[in-house]
């Protein structure tokens, strides 16, 4: 029911937004205030509000010609419809790609509670066996616990290809049309690309800045991943005796399972024991309370103590 409502309302909401931000008379009034903003003796907040809405109108295409505005409206309507279709397809594909097994042994490494949940998930789908529903990420949480490699591979591949299996919920054509449409939209709005337009009111401001940041990050991230891969492969070889003795080379579905072992060996850190402390409500409630109590204590102790606790609160 909700999916149908979203499907019907998405293009209407896009049209509603265009009716506001592409309205020439309304923009004329906004621009008039913007041009006089320095002489209006506005508060800092009021000045920021005037600038924000003027920039938002311009970003949305308020300066386009009437003919280009009509083109943009059609683009926005199609884009909203495609974006909603993409979300709906991913939702259904994620449910359909859940990992199923009729062999309980394939779930070795999971807790009794997790195996019980998998059995209930299977019954809900009217299947005899166990089902591991997919999370909306590529790396599934169970990958760090599952001991049977073929199960890890099956779960990972189900997740990786969830929306690339052909049929009604395959998203590839939708993505291709969205990319084409957004490229056209970016050019219509005066930019070389959709990314350039989309970044205009974001922190990076320009595509060049965003790429510069990623280019600077990539070498360090790649080197770190290569180091982790080497450590993980060493653990695999130590347990399996190397490829010549029935071992195997590291694959994506092995990463979480063996990286957990590397962490335990290097740092004596068991992520399963730490995880409950970072559960959202626990952090918000207990972390917040501790931070608040500490901040009160620090205020009494003076500036030096406060500074130390403030840093701790930021960490929480």
DSSP string, 138-185: SS-GGGGT---HHHHHHHHHHHHTTT-SSSTT--HHHHHHHHHHHHHH
- Alpha carbons within 13 A on the beta-carbon side of 131: 17
Pick out the chain residues at pLDDT < 50: 289-290, 292-316
Is the pTM here over 0.85, yes or no?
A: no
> What span, in angstroms and rounded, lies between the C-alpha atoms of 36 and 82?
40
Task: Say what the pLDDT of residue 287 is.
Answer: 67
Element holding 131 (H helix, E strand): strand 130-132
Task: Say what the pLDDT of residue 245 is.
Answer: 56
> What span, in angstroms and rounded, lies between the C-alpha atoms of 283 and 278?
6
Q: What is the largest CA-CA distance in the chain?
A: 80
Residues 6+ apart with CB under 8 A from 26: 20
Residues 6+ apart with CB under 8 A from 37: 47, 50, 51
> What span, in angstroms and rounded, lies between the C-alpha atoms of 140 and 152?
9
> What span, in angstroms and rounded, lies between the C-alpha atoms of 200 and 207?
9
| Other residues' Cβ atoms within 10 Å of the Cβ of residue 166 | 7
> What span, in angstroms and rounded, lies between the C-alpha atoms of 308 and 294?
10
Task: Say what the pLDDT of residue 298 is.
Answer: 39
Is 13 strand, coil or helix? Answer: helix
Residue 23 to residues 49, 91, 190, Cα–Cα distance (Å): 19, 35, 19
Is 125 strand, coil or helix? Answer: coil
């Amino acid at each position: 029911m909700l999916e149908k409502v979203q499907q019907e309302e998405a293009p209407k909401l896009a049209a509603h937004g265009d009716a506001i931000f592409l309205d020439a008379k309304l923009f004329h009034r906004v621009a008039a205030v913007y041009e006089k903003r320095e002489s209006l003796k506005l508060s800092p907040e009021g000045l920021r509000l005037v600038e924000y809405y003027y920039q938002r109108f311009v970003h949305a295409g308020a300066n386009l010609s009437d003919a280009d505005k009509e083109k943009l409206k059609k683009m926005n309507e199609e884009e909203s419809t495609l974006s909603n279709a993409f979300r709906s397809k991913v939702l259904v594909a994620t449910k359909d790609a859940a990992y199923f097994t009729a062999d309980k042994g394939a779930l070795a490494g999971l807790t009794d509670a997790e195996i019980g949940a998998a059995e209930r998930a299977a019954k809900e789908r009217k299947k005899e066996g166990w089902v591991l529903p997919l999370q909306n990420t590529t790396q599934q949480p169970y990958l760090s616990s599952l001991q049977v490699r073929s199960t890890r591979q099956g779960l990972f591949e189900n997740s990786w290809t969830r929306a690339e299996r052909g049929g009604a919920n395959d998203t590839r054509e939708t993505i291709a049309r969205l990319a084409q449409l957004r490229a056209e939209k970016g050019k219509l709005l005066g930019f070389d690309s959709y990314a350039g337009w989309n970044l205009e009111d974001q922190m990076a401001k320009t595509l060049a800045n965003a790429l510069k940041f990623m280019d600077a990050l990539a070498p360090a991230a790649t080197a770190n991943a290569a180091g982790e891969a080497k450590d993980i492969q060493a653990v695999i070889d130590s347990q399996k005796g190397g490829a010549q003795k029935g071992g195997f080379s590291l694959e994506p579905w092995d990463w979480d399972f063996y990286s957990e072992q590397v962490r335990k060996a290097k740092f004596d850190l068991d992520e399963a024991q730490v995880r409950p402390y970072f559960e959202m409500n626990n952090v918000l409630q207990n972390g917040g309370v501790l931070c608040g109590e500490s901040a009160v204590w620090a205020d009494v102790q003076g500036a030096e103590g406060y500074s130390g606790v403030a840093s701790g609160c930021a960490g929480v």
